[in-house]
Amino acid sequence: MVQTYRQSSLSFYLTIFDVLSPRKFQMFKRIKLPCRSQHYHWRTLMLRTYIRSLKFLSRSVRYAFGKFPRECPLCNYHGKFLGYGYPYVCDVYCPQCGSLERHRLLYIADQQKDFFTGKTILHFAPEPGVRKMVTQRAPKSYVTADLFAEGVDRKENIEALTIEDNSFDVVICLHVLEHVDDRAAISELYRVTKPNGLLIAMFPIIEGWQETYENVEKTGPENQLLHFGQHDHVRFFGNDARQRLASPGFMVDEFTAVEPFVSRYGLMRGEKIFLCRKPAEPAQLP
């Protein structure tokens, strides 16, 4: 019985492999080695490798459509999340409103701290779900900005803003700083934030690295994907990101994704929102 099951399972995977890649399968069948035992073991090893690959592909396809029931606090969706992005990440995308982990984490943080009600808001690279969330909080004003995107209120280069000093109570900057000259951008964000105002920043960070990784020689989509995780990123932030945020004068606090919110809302474990407060009074130079 066991032998019959194994044979049928083997036949199934061989058939799938033949359908998916017939040329490679025929090449695999034609492999000949001088020693019969070596021939057998080599083909067996290759067969096992391809079967494992097929099993992994099967699991990946299943998980792409979600594994665990989740909730989206932005739109009250209940169900499984989908995969998203490149490199592809499973179980992160709300199929109803399109929110990702960082958007849901911001929602939870706002529920606890109330960032937006009655405030003047500047939002860079505005995501539809976050835009809707902010406008529902009845801000005093809400201005969107981007250099390339359509449908924003202002065309702005975050490294050289045309906005006056001390203009906004809250500035939202989610997953932008890894694309640009972050030091210039942070300095500009500090300038346009009002005294006692708040910069809300998020970006990919590797906590195990003491220093941010940048390499000006690694340009072009392939190099940037290999070195920085995405074709248009120019760095991976390390622990010194906090010093970079604080350098113009911000006081940096953090809001971290923890349980039970991680499991319930499909958050990235340990992901952080950096809450950067501009002092009410400018720092006195010695």
Taking only the tens place, the pLDDT of each residue in 63-104 is 666 678 999 999 999 999 988 877 778 889 999 999 999 999
CB 262 within 8 A of CB 282: no
What is the pTM for the complete model shown?
0.77
**Confidence (pLDDT) at 42:** 61
Helix or strand (DSSP H, E) at 123: strand 120-124
Q: Where are the domains of the chain?
A: 2-62, 100-277
Mean per-residue pLDDT for 226-236? 84
**Which residues are CB-contacts of 179 (< 8 A; sequence separation ≥ 6)?**
232, 233, 234
pLDDT bracket for residue 212 (50, 70, 90): very high
Q: Is 34 left (phi over 0), alpha (psi -120 to 50) or beta?
A: alpha
**Confidence (pLDDT) at 33:** 47
158 vs 181: CA distance, rounded Å: 9
Segment 177-206, tens digit of pLDDT:
999 999 999 999 999 999 999 999 999 999
Segment 14-73, tens digit of pLDDT:
444 444 454 554 544 554 545 555 555 666 766 677 667 666 555 656 666 667 899 999
Cα–Cα nearest to 180, from 137, 243, 124, 250 = 124
Q: Which string of b and e fits 157-174 if b means at least 16 CB within 10 Å?
A: ebeebebeeebbbbbbbb
List the structure tokens of 176: 């932008």
pLDDT bracket for residue 280 (50, 70, 90): very high
CB 16 within 8 A of CB 7: no
**Confidence (pLDDT) at 284:** 54
If you average pLDDT over every residue of the chain, what do you get? Answer: 84
CB 250 within 8 A of CB 190: yes
Distances (CA, A) of 61 to 94, 100, 123, 158: 17, 19, 35, 39
Mean per-residue pLDDT for 6-15? 43
**Confidence (pLDDT) at 16:** 45
Q: Which residue has the tokens 């500090």?
A: 190
Domain spanning 100-277: which superfamily? Vaccinia Virus protein VP39 (3.40.50.150)
For residue 27, the Cα-to-chain-centroid distance in whole angstroms is 40
Q: Is 82 left (phi over 0), alpha (psi -120 to 50) or beta?
A: beta
The pairing of strands 141-146 and 120-124 is parallel
DSSP bridge pairs for 236: 213
> Which comes out higher in pLDDT, residue 241 or 54?
241
